[in-house]
Amino acid sequence: MSNLSIAVYFPFARFNVVSQNAHLDLKHPGTQIRLEPDRRCRPVCRDCGAAGRVHAWGRRRFIRDLNVGPAMTLLDVAQRRVWCPACCAAKVERLSFADVSQRITHRFAQYIYALCKVMTVQDVARHVELDPKTVKRVESKHSAKRTTTGCVCWRSTRSRCARG
């Protein structure tokens, strides 16, 4: 049995890689990475960041990530709802690697932003196989963030686990 693992390429807090499906024989190769919440960690409220408890297991969603080799990568993520004691309400769980309302990871957005510095939005959209409006939105968001904070770093998405 092999000890090889792809989990090191997906260092997301509070989630573990449980399986993958690679489709490398297609015209457009792709891979689906299934992530499950780490049950040792308490989920975190998306609004205030307080640790809560699982209120409901919601639907699953696909989030686009950086390609693995030639394969377009989709993360299959469980979207849980959290009962937040600070907000006194059920909120969607905060993900360390993607915004709740976005369908791309932070590091993929940073990759798009880096490409936008040297390529046109249309060329970037064609290269990453996304809608030009999505690429433009990412570019605008990161430009605004850079002017306010001075730095955009995907490594900051690996926040600490909220055990406790």
At position 49, the amino acid (one-letter code) is G
| Alpha-carbon distances of 92 from 3, 29, 41, 53, 112, rounded to whole Å | 35, 32, 16, 11, 26
Cβ-based nearer residue to Zn ion, 58 or 70: 58
Cβ nearer to Zn ion, comparing 53 with 146:
53
Judge contact between 58 and 35, C-beta under 8 A. Answer: no
Closest CB 47 distance from Zn ion, rounded Å: 5
Contacts with Zn ion, residue ranges (CB under 5 A):
45, 47-48, 50, 84, 86-87
Bridge partner list, 91: 82
Nearer to Zn ion, 49 or 70 (CB): 49
Closer residue to Zn ion in complex, CB, 45/138: 45
Give the position of tokens 């891979």.
31
The CA–CA distances, whole Å, from 58 to 16, 67, 79, 96, 104 equal 18, 26, 5, 18, 19
Work out how close the CB of 91 gets to Zn ion at its nearest, in angstroms, rounded to a whole number: 6
Least separation in angstroms between residue 161's CB and Zn ion is: 18
Minimum Å gap between C-beta 48 and Zn ion is 3
